[in-house]
Structure 1
Amino acid sequence: MSTTNENLDNPSGNEPTEAESHGISELQLQAWELLEFTNVRELLANRTRFFMSREMALDARPLVDIEDVERLQDETTQAALMLGTVGDIGLTGARDPRELLHRASIDGMLTGEEIVSVLHLLDSIWSARNTVVSMKGRAPLLEEIAADIPDLRDLGKEIFKSISDQGEVLNSATPKLARLRANVSKSFQKVMRAMERISNSPSVRGSLQSGAIATRGERLVLEVRADARESVPGIVHDVSGSGATLFVEPFNAVELCNDWRETAAEAQREEERILRRLSRLIGDREDEAVIALEAAAALDYITARARLAASMKARRIETMPAGSDNVTNLVGARHPLLGSDAVPITINIGPGFRGLVITGPNTGGKTVAIKTIGLFALMHQSGMQLPLSDGEMAIFDAVYADIGDSQSIERSVSTFSSHMGRVVEILLEATSNSLILFDELGTGTDPEEGSALARAVLAHATENDMPIAITSHYRAVAEYAAESEDLANASVELNPDTMLPTYQVIMGIPGRSYAIHVARHLGMPSHVLDDAQAMMDPTRAEAETILQQLQREREEAIRIRAEAEQAKAEAEQARKDLQHKLSTVTRAQEDMIEKSRMELRRETEKIQKSLRKVVNKAKNDNDLDVAKRAIGRIRNQFSDPTWLPVAPPPDAAKPDEDEEPRPLQAGDEVEIIGLNVRASIIDISSGGTVELMMGNSRIELNEQQLRLTKAAPPVDPKRSPNEIPNVTINTISAGEAANTSGELDIRGSRVHESDELVRQFIDDSSIQGLTSVRIIHGDGTGVLREAIRLLLSKHPLVASFSAAPRNKGGNGATLVDLS
């Protein structure tokens, strides 16, 4: 990641080392191996589908500039969006054509199959380009790369005029080839007929092993028994393994076979000439083809990062600038090489501290924790998304690590010497923007000296502002971290009942010792354990007791939190259930209201038809008294409790006979028995008929069909007893308060309100004997006008209607002629 200042000249002529080729130090390359970054690159390479992108994945390396890292992350994010919307880009199973392109560019000849493979690859690259372009601005970085892919479709169209999809040169490639191939066929048929005549002749037939005509060295031959060689004069081209059969070309067929082979050779030369011409067409476009290959490789490499992210259920984290106080913060991080066995860990370095000391028992997960930090840093800066719940990480100019057993047999040095030698080299090379990871720092020597060295290394790192994370078994190192403002403790633990690791990282608490606990679990005699505890430093025993208490309190806090989370989840589920039930009840109520409204409308239409018959009869008989009596009978029928088609069932609930019900009055809210529908009382007549407001409609029912649900507020003495606040009344009772002006002004009304008003107006006007009326609705948006005219076109009492003259409202009013 960081570049060492080395002389770029190579006078020795030796091949550059891997470190030199990557522009990084050997220490960093070693860290890549120790942190298993090379294994992750192999995982990434397995997600590629293009030969060149696989090479790019295996050579992936982290970038150190924040803008470059963010660009890589943007690319991966856009590729993930593409996979989730328009799909993948393809490019599966493509052969590397670079050698073929080079051969074609220097006038080499490609075979038909090689030409087809190049064309199919270029076509698949164009298809990949179209997939990216179909994102239409949602993946600008990918679309910018795709825009560089040249259109080579004309090359394929030209070449496929001469060869088939299988790479065979077509007869139509040139007139000469068609003629030569026809001659080859004719000459072959001639030699075949000659061979058949010879093999069927009486003098030869008995000398043959079989009547088949075989080939040897592109010559037609007969299978002759060795003991009958003299009976078939000709040229022997081959002998069977047993020596019993000779493959003989008869002299009489030699000239014919020569003609066939010469013609075939000439046709072959014409095919090669055509293939060279086609190869030259490809060679002339080598530069464009290479550009297409490189762009396709870049697209597939980016898409491979998105494929890998999807397979790991990874996500993008926030990138912090180099030197950020928040060095790294990983929440629910899962090591990518552990698969489904990975236990999520939450770990952070900073804010407020630059170093982390992780303590705890062996196999508890300390090493995995620091390897996860380092591996995630390398992956993040290489453009890969990370398998975690949330996180953020600073940019590092290098990641250094000393993990595992580095004993060098060749150098005859101890494990401790090997580790300490690498630690020294890392401290000399690292900067304040480097990430340093040491596993079991100071182990392998005297505990007191090893602990002191570990503390000294931590002190050096903090003095130079170097981010560092180490694992250690030394209690003194954990105590040093606890006392330092620049360091923090973390720990891993064992389950106290099973003595198995939990693999969880606990921030802020040093690890406790499990030696005596494990010994007791394994059956160590109690007197031995008592002696061991007596030999311990009292302050250490006290610290161990405190850590045990902290562990118990933490476990209790985790239990309480889990219970709270469970209660929260149950409450949320209960809320959703209640919401669902409420929605169901609301829908049922709306359906019931709509059903009631439809049935009431049908019944109202029946009443209106009866009224129209009465009006027509009154007009014809000129007897107003008869009409009034008929209207009175209809009104009584309308007020009859048995009239309502949805009347309450016989067993409907009745008020408690012991409780004297309060008489209904205007303003009360009531429920229509049997419908579970509520309405407000507008007025009550002396005959027990109650006028109700249900939604935006006014209806009349008998008071026996109603149940009081909410009493009206006390009436203001200054207010009219029939005046109900906040209630809009749309009167629809036939014959009452009839409009005698011949005009209806419904400007400002809603469509559903105007429907009943117009119907009532037309009925009243017809009863009064009016033949022409005017409805004023205004111009507005025209919705109300169109709705009114649609109603008039279907009304049985309307003979015709038209827009009013300009002096009477124009198109803002409608004149209606009644029948």
Structure 2
Amino acid sequence: MSELATLADSANALRESAQMALELPLLRQLWLGHCAHIYAQRHVSSLSPWVAAEEIRLRLQRSASLQRLLAEGPSLPTLELPDIKALLVLASRPGATLSALELVRVRRVLALAAEYAQFLGRAEDIFQEDAALLAPHPILFARLRDSLDEDGALFDHASPELAQLRQEVRGQRGQVQQYLLALLRERERRDIWQDPHIVQRNGRFLLPVKANFKGRLRGIVHDRSASGETLFIEPLGVVEQNNLLAEAEAAQRQEEERILRDLTSLLGAEVGRLELTLERMGRLEAIRAGLDLAGLWSGNVPLLRESPSFSLRGLRHPLLHLRHPTSVVGNDLDLGEDARQLLITGPNTGGKSALLKAVGLVHLAAYLGLPIPAEGQIGTFSAIYAVIGDAQDLQADLSSFSGQMRQLRDILQLTPPDALILLDELGNGTDPREGAALAQAVAANLRDRGVLSILTSHMAVLKRYALQGEGVLLGGMGFDLERLEPTYRLQLGRAGASQGLRIARKVGLPEPILALAEAIHSGAQENWENWEEHRDALLRKAEEQFASAQAAADEQTRLRAKLQQELDKAAALRQRAADEARMEWQRMLANARAQVRSAIAGLKQGRNTQAASETLDSLDQVLGMANTAPQALPAVGSRGLFLPLRAPVQVQRVDPAGQRLQVDLRGKQLWIPLAQFQPDETLALPKERGRSQYVSPEEHPWRLDLRGQRREEAEAALLRHLDAAVAAGRSQVEILHGKGNGVLADLVRVLAQQDPRVAAWRMARPEQGGGGVSELELR
């Protein structure tokens, strides 16, 4: 293996190690749990944070765009989908035939893709290309939708040949059953039947005869019961009819196979596009799932800087926030512009490591396109390396310190200038003086190379290094001395004390030991006066900068409030002008109506057509000028009057470009011009009558449900259904009336016999509803 390949493998290993240390796999697992289907899960599993900056920017743009779409309108559909990748591979092979159920699985995926495309149709940004791609092929989708029901059965109208063959099968089956029923009713044979019902064996209709009466019925014995007491006999008189039925059913199966083969071929021609569609569906659902997950930590989509630097406000560790949503403290952190290195000090369990991990994890999450628990800007880093926790490797016979040093060696060898280095408790695990020397040397090396780095430590020598070093920022995690508890708040410019002796006293270590420890510590304590003075100077400077920033923020808040007042004032003026214009228009309209009434009265009395014509012409001029103002678009859910019918309606959708509305008129959805709608929120919408409601054939073309309706309502609904079905060119409709007392069934049968548009009436097959469903063939 070449040296270049070895270095590349080492870099990838360090990246993987950092992702493990920063708990990215756990975050990815939580993301997968929010994905609705397998295509999104595949997308999330395949995502890598190490892509070009432009790809990261696109990921963040997609998240921000989908976040806006979800905030403005309906939710993105979330459905579990079957995995059809193997079916697409099979469909692409010449001569392949998918089963009806397999094609239904494909149709389910295409249906959701169509909903995705409709959802993205409102987008005018980065999702426009996806909206066009996700829309399924219209012919393929229509064929699958019109040929198969949800259970995988082919509709009769899947082809004209299939409709004819099924009609023949039904007719032949009816003849066979009528013949056998006649035999069952013969009085002289009543005692020979084991069970007076028709049975079916191997596709042939038979009669169950008691074994000891075998000679009473001439026919072919096809089967015997397990007990031997029953023979299943095909009477000789029905053998030829059963043969004809078998031939018709075979022809029907051949036609069904041909239809499935044609549908598979049509699907195979679209495989390339569909594979890309599945990938885009996975990406879209993965983004939605990411927004869902990020909503748990109130995530924001950050901006991506072009430089290896970042500025974050209210930074929280996302996984900690999920475990403790109300108690995680947010911290502000800027690094890379004025300072390239941050040293974080403070007591154990004070939040040093959590803050270190939060910086790395939010960058990795943002690189995947996730909103992060912070506001601001993230940096563009070619690599993020981290040495966190115990690096002990028993198999390699390495101690924690040795493992840490090996990782550190590889990082120092491979780190590019635009990397982010995170080192937790560097130098622990060996002699404190030697560890401190190594830690300071590593920190100085990274600082001199200009590599952005964050380190955590207890060591006093590193605190002095941070105060002395140019471009090094010192920060300490806060500690409440009264309660002896950490505050988890980062305090820049201050070194966080370890508070080891205080904590030891709190947990009850014996007082003689504590006194000796304090004496030793006091004797070994170095002179910190110069360092304290330097620290206080830095603190005063930071406080002055904070005060200046706070003043600027207050001024910005004041200006924003003033601007809002101006906007509110302008809105009030616009509303008042609109109200005055409306009142003027109503006055003009009332005056015009009075003049029209006067003109009509004049025509009735004196037939003065010239005066009436002049009056109407003058009104045309006045009303034409007044009507030039565009009518305001109503909001979805508004009520008003549909002027041509003077009927109350409710707005369902609004089309600003076309100046039209979709309204609900007695259960039907109509698009009407805006001019035909008169807003009136006082109108009451008509209440629905009965338990069921007429549904247009476009929505459910094959079945009308009359159950629970009175006879008059059912008759009116049936006539409307037939009108719409004939107008739509339907050849068959199904009427669901139930068995009940037979009133609705008789109504359907009588009307079918009397209506000239109905060619034939019959009860449905048992598997299609039997006596509870009527099938009407239309002319």
How does the TM-score come out when normalised to structure 1?
0.59
Report the alpha carbon displacement of residue 223 of structure 1 after superposing the two structures with TM.
5.6
Q: Following superposition of structure 1 onto structure 2, how do residues 133-282 of structure 1 map, counting pairs within 5 Å?
A: 133-135=121-123, 137=124, 139=125, 141-149=126-134, 152-164=137-149, 167-196=152-181, 210-220=195-205, 235=221, 237=223, 239-240=225-226, 243=227, 248-250=232-234, 252=236, 256-282=241-267
Match for residue 712 of structure 2?
none
Match for residue 81 of structure 2?
94
Report the alpha carbon displacement of residue 48 of structure 1 after superposing the two structures with TM.
4.0
SS in 2 for 1:399: strand
Report the alpha carbon displacement of residue 218 of structure 1 after superposing the two structures with TM.
3.8
Match for residue 378 of structure 1?
364
Cα pair distance change 1:119/1:513, threshold 3 Å: closer
Match of 1:288 among 258, 273, 282: 273
Match for residue 57 of structure 1?
44
Structure 1 runs not aligned, ≥5 long? 9-18, 588-782, 787-819
Deviation string, structure 1 residues 343-390 (Cα, Å, up to 9, x no partner): 3223343433322222222222221111101111112223322111x3
SS in 2 for 1:431: coil
Q: Following superposition of structure 1 onto structure 2, how do residues 289-438 of structure 1 map, counting pairs within 5 Å?
A: 289-322=274-307, 324=308, 327-337=309-319, 338-339=321-322, 340-341=325-326, 342-388=328-374, 390-438=375-423
Report the alpha carbon displacement of residue 83 of structure 1 after superposing the two structures with TM.
1.6
Report the alpha carbon displacement of residue 149 of structure 1 after superposing the two structures with TM.
4.5
SS in 2 for 1:502: strand
Q: CA RMSD of the aligned region, Å?
A: 4.4
Answer yes or no: is the 8 Å Cα contact 2:211–2:231 preserved in 1. Answer: no
Tell me which amino acid in the other structure corresponds to 1:174. S
Q: Following superposition of structure 1 onto structure 2, how do residues 347-746 of structure 1 map, counting pairs within 5 Å?
A: 347-388=333-374, 390-538=375-523, 540=525
Tell me which amino acid in the other structure corresponds to 1:433. D
Match for residue 31 of structure 1?
18
Answer yes or no: is the 8 Å Cα contact 1:44–1:308 preserved in 2. Answer: yes
Answer yes or no: is the 8 Å Cα contact 2:208–2:233 preserved in 1. Answer: no
SS in 2 for 1:536: helix
In 1, Cα distance between equivalents of 2:162 and 2:135: 33
In 2, Cα distance between equivalents of 1:320 and 1:513: 35
Deviation string, structure 1 residues 25-69 (Cα, Å, up to 9, x no partner): 121112112212222233334444454333222222225544433
Cα pair distance change 1:205/1:429, threshold 3 Å: farther
SS in 1 for 2:489: coil
Answer yes or no: is the 8 Å Cα contact 2:116–2:134 preserved in 1. Answer: no
SS in 1 for 2:365: helix
In 2, Cα distance between equivalents of 1:464 and 1:203: 110
Indicate the percent of aligned positions where both proteins have the same amino acid.
27
**Does 1:82 find its partner at 2:69?**
yes
Report the alpha carbon displacement of residue 284 of structure 1 after superposing the two structures with TM.
2.2
Tell me which amino acid in the other structure corresponds to 2:102. E
Cα pair distance change 1:538/1:209, threshold 3 Å: farther
Report the alpha carbon displacement of residue 222 of structure 1 after superposing the two structures with TM.
5.3
SS in 1 for 2:312: strand
In 1, Cα distance between equivalents of 2:427 and 2:12: 24
Tell me which amino acid in the other structure corresponds to 1:248. F
SS in 2 for 1:501: strand
In 2, Cα distance between equivalents of 1:201 and 1:175: 40
Report the alpha carbon displacement of residue 145 of structure 1 after superposing the two structures with TM.
3.4
Match of 2:99 among 106, 111, 126: 111
In 1, Cα distance between equivalents of 2:285 and 2:460: 50
Answer yes or no: is the 8 Å Cα contact 1:334–1:345 preserved in 2. Answer: yes
Tell me which amino acid in the other structure corresponds to 1:505. L
SS in 1 for 2:17: helix
Report the alpha carbon displacement of residue 203 of structure 1 after superposing the two structures with TM.
8.4
Match for residue 779 of structure 1?
none
In 1, Cα distance between equivalents of 2:250 and 2:529: 94
In 2, Cα distance between equivalents of 1:199 and 1:334: 82
Report the alpha carbon displacement of residue 432 of structure 1 after superposing the two structures with TM.
1.3
Report the alpha carbon displacement of residue 283 of structure 1 after superposing the two structures with TM.
2.0
In 2, Cα distance between equivalents of 1:247 and 1:545: 112
Cα pair distance change 1:247/1:298, threshold 3 Å: farther
Match for residue 13 of structure 1?
none
Report the alpha carbon displacement of residue 209 of structure 1 after superposing the two structures with TM.
5.3
In 2, Cα distance between equivalents of 1:35 and 1:478: 25
SS in 2 for 1:329: strand
SS in 2 for 1:347: strand
Answer yes or no: is the 8 Å Cα contact 1:315–1:387 preserved in 2. Answer: yes
Match of 1:121 among 109, 119, 122: 109
Report the alpha carbon displacement of residue 158 of structure 1 after superposing the two structures with TM.
4.5
Deviation string, structure 1 residues 465-508 (Cα, Å, up to 9, x no partner): 22222222322233322322243322224433443332222222
In 1, Cα distance between equivalents of 2:494 and 2:206: 92
In 2, Cα distance between equivalents of 1:6 and 1:146: 41
Report the alpha carbon displacement of residue 129 of structure 1 after superposing the two structures with TM.
2.5
Cα pair distance change 1:521/1:186, threshold 3 Å: same
In 2, Cα distance between equivalents of 1:181 and 1:480: 90
Match for residue 70 of structure 1?
57
Answer yes or no: is the 8 Å Cα contact 1:219–1:249 preserved in 2. Answer: no
SS in 1 for 2:386: strand
In 1, Cα distance between equivalents of 2:148 and 2:513: 89
Deviation string, structure 1 residues 593-634 (Cα, Å, up to 9, x no partner): xxxxxxxxxxxxxxxxxxxxxxxxxxxxxxxxxxxxxxxxxx
Cα pair distance change 1:316/1:185, threshold 3 Å: closer
Tell me which amino acid in the other structure corresponds to 1:110. L
When Rg is computed on C-alpha atoms for both structures, the one with the higher figure is 1
Deviation string, structure 1 residues 163-220 (Cα, Å, up to 9, x no partner): 4465432323334323322232233334434554566668876566544444444444
Match for residue 634 of structure 2?
none
In 2, Cα distance between equivalents of 1:509 and 1:154: 70
Structure 2 runs not aligned, ≥5 long? 573-621, 626-779
Match of 1:43 among 30, 38, 44: 30
In 1, Cα distance between equivalents of 2:480 and 2:209: 88
Match of 2:118 among 130, 153, 164: 130
